[in-house]
Amino acid sequence: MISIVIPTRDEAANIASLLAVLAAEPEPHECIVVDAGADATAALAAQAGARVIASAPGRGRQIRAGVEAASGSVIWMLHADCQVPRGCLAVIRRALATPHIVGGNFRLLFDGQDRFRRSLDGFYA
């Protein structure tokens, strides 16, 4: 099973759409939202079926809490504003079935068309 850990802080505008996409994935998985905010993120995540953990702010602290709560053999860290491709969990499972592969990431693309964001797209490729 894949455990998806999502550290959040005031991500109510993003969390529901990410969790909806992940819920449609047929691969076995769990979503753990570790929330350190004051908005409706935690309530929206719980409503979407995610396990919600309250945390003090701090991305490292939140990631640790999510990893400690995870029950999967694979842990995938996501930001709440990510857009993930359909079939992403199957891609992860297939990639990790290759003996010499122990981790990885999907290609990162940043919103916006300014020169800085386009340079980030190229850098992270």
- 77 or 102: which carries more pLDDT confidence? 77
Structural domain of 37? 2-124
Report the predicted TM-score, pTM, of the whole model to 2 decimal places. Answer: 0.88
**Can you give the pLDDT at residue 114?**
82
**Can you give the pLDDT at residue 122?**
77
**Number of domains the chain contains:** 1
pLDDT tens digits, 36-58: 999 999 999 999 999 999 999 99
Distance CA 9, CA 32 (A): 14
Which CATH number goes with the domain that contains 80? 3.90.550.10
50: its two tokens: 């995610």
- 8 or 109: which carries more pLDDT confidence? 8
**Can you give the pLDDT at residue 117?**
73
pLDDT tens digits, 55-84: 999 999 999 999 999 999 999 999 999 889
